[in-house]
Amino acid sequence: MKEIIIALVVVVVLFIVWSKRDPNREIPSTGIVSPADGKVSVVRKESDGRVRVGVFMNVYDVHVNRAPVSGYVKGIEHIPGGLFPAFSKESDRNERVRIVCTVDPSEESKVKASDEWEIVLIAGALARRIKPYIKVGDRIEKGERIGHIEFGSRVDVIFPAGRRIEDVLVKIGDRVRAGESILMESG
């Protein structure tokens, strides 16, 4: 019995260490990149006309989140909520951290400095801790590490007004990698 308990403890410790991995990534020079490793679970136009792309992170995905574009952090808001499975429709009501960014127009072609992007880190049924690494006023670089969500969860990018859903380069079910996979071309 003692051996079984030791084996279980070792497995749990190894899983926790493995879930905290943070590999380096090759950031492309152009395009708007995925904020998370995982599977695209949402591609939709919101009621305000903006486009949302969501990436579901399973427990085996890397859980470090990255900036999809370069710019400045304008606001960070923690929104309490439920803890529904991150892949379900109800997850829109989950606990989350909403990060509002303005884009640096020198970095992305045809982008206005007034364009506001949202990155929404959404907790899942097991993910009870969302840890942003950034604060209001920070300059962030595309592909930079901006936060971490414990265990399975979801990260959404809400593009500024004027972006078209037809310009999204990924579809539901596609596997993406944070900081590497391009969701939409710049501009």
Report pLDDT for 8. 82
Residue 147: Cβ within 10 Å count: 22
Q: What is the pLDDT of residues 89-141, one digit of tens each?
A: 777 778 899 999 997 666 544 555 558 899 999 987 766 689 999 999 999 99
The pLDDT score that the predictor gives to residue 87 is: 66
- No. of helices (H) and no. of strands (E), the chain: 1, 13
SS3 40: strand
Q: Which candidate, 88, 146, 83, places its Cα nearest to that of 120?
A: 146
pTM for the full predicted model: 0.85
Query: In the chain, what are the domains?
Result: 2-184 (2.70.70)
Tokens found for residue 167: 């310009």
Q: Please say if 29 is a catalytic residue.
A: no
The per-residue pLDDT for range 42-59, each reduced to its tens digit, is 999 999 999 999 999 988
Of 19, 153, 181, 186, the catalytic one is 153
